Amino acid sequence: MDIFPAIDLLDGKCVRLYQGDYDKSQVFNDNPADMARDWIEQGATKLHLVDLDGAKAGHPVNLSAIASIVEVVKNTTDRQIQIQVGGGLRDGASVSELLKLGVDRAILGTVAVEQPQLVADLCQRYPRQIVVGIDARDGKVATKGWLETSEVSATELASRMAAMGVAAIIYTDIHRDGTLAGPNLEALRELAGGVEIPVIASGGVSSVRDLLNLLSLSTLGVTGVIVGRALYTGEVSLTEAIRAVGEGRWQDVPPDLGATNFA
């Protein structure tokens, strides 16, 4: 299972939100490129970037910060680093501009609900480079930077997007995001069980044990996890997390932690 350190960009800085609330942001680094360099030095091979300003504005805003992170990755010669970016990608031109910067995958959110044909077209144009982020509030998909909630269920949207050829689904439980309350294992189990493409979990990870609980869902297709606040606060060590997941140490997790249906 891949671990994606999250770098959320707001006003050109690396921040974390609490439950998606822009008014509850905390700055962790004024220089996102330095933050990316730190995660790479600790062993990261995947980076998850979100343009929070872009999600709110409806178009990419933090392109210079993203470009600076791409440059850091280009200068990493000992291993390949993959970057995925979301936030404000609501037309083909924005996706094209982002991918031209050197980003590996573009994450679509709002358009998956409002313009599904655009998702299908982009999947054809950029095979294996389009990911759909499904951000759910009480099981319903939130859009426009989590500022609005649709009537579409997360599982229904995941099924539609899988049929269109997206490379993966990122599932975020908004009520867990930034809370360190643990991932929503039941919702992930339901969603991953309904599609045949990789699912990346996001929201609520507070410990290595949470990561190992998620590892128990790998047989259902949960192939990655995005970790944000827990890394920034030190609740989770990236180096230790990578080692633990790589060793498959979920066998040692007590059942009362929610790690059921082990395989």
DSSP codes, 145-171: TTTEEEEEEHHHHHHHHHHHT-SEEEE
CA distance 260 to 255: 7
The full length of the chain comes to 263
State both tokens at 237. Answer: 């060590």
CA nearest 56: which of 2, 118, 110? Answer: 110
> What is the set of active-site residues?
8, 135
What 30-35 contacts at long range (C-beta under 8 Å, 24+ apart), as own/partner pairs, is 32/7, 32/62, 32/65, 32/68, 32/69, 33/65, 33/68, 33/69, 33/71, 33/72, 35/7
